[in-house]
Structure 1
Amino acid sequence: MLIGILTIILSLACGQQEVGYDTKINLFGTQMAITGNQMRAARSLVGLDQIALAEMAGVSANTIRNMEGAGAGRINVRTMTLDAVTDALKAAGVVFVEEGMNDGGPGVRLTARSEEK
């Protein structure tokens, strides 16, 4: 039993409980999946290349490439990484639309503020 307790303590201390996550909190406080296609569309919508987005988010261009490589599947990265990238895109004027909103599939759009520019 002592070994089991020590294993749990060591796992928590080493951060092993944090694996990959594939969701982001939406505007309504619920979790929504972000797909690779949404990420690619969002980046294109605001006219950023992968390197520029990576610099804005503080991640590597390879991370952006891998996230977009998920295609129609959910992005599976650490929460902090997903937050950094989606926050950079939101700061550029992107809104992520989840499946079922407005009777459509998942997508992206510009904020009204960005559309006026």
Structure 2
Amino acid sequence: MKRAALLLLAGAAAAAAHAGPEYRNVTTGKPLRPGIYGRITVAAKAPPPPVIYAQPVIASQALVPARAQPVYLYVPPGQVRKWKENCARWSACDQAVLFVRVDDSPSRWGKWRERREAQLAMHERD
């Protein structure tokens, strides 16, 4: 029992360290957390957060100045895949965007896959 409690505390500490105070959600004003989407600010001397794509994505055909700093956004996975359709929701169509990756982020794809695999397993038993 004690071992399980220690593992739980270690996991919580690791999660807190991952989303520590160096990354903040501008929308909520709170630290970066899975499932809470928005524009992310990075503390002055903090390393950049992990991103999905190494190069910034620009949804429009606008010319972005070479020295312009990209904005960090944490958005749902479906919006990343169809960024041109969703950039207006974040007021970022004419900006270079780096999508922040949060490893334990909820994903509809993951849940859909779990349901599909459960249904296939049921059909195989019949």
Common fold, TM-score beyond 0.5? no
TM-score scaled by length of structure 2: 0.25
Flag the structure with larger Rg: 2
Q: TM-score, normalised by structure 1?
A: 0.26
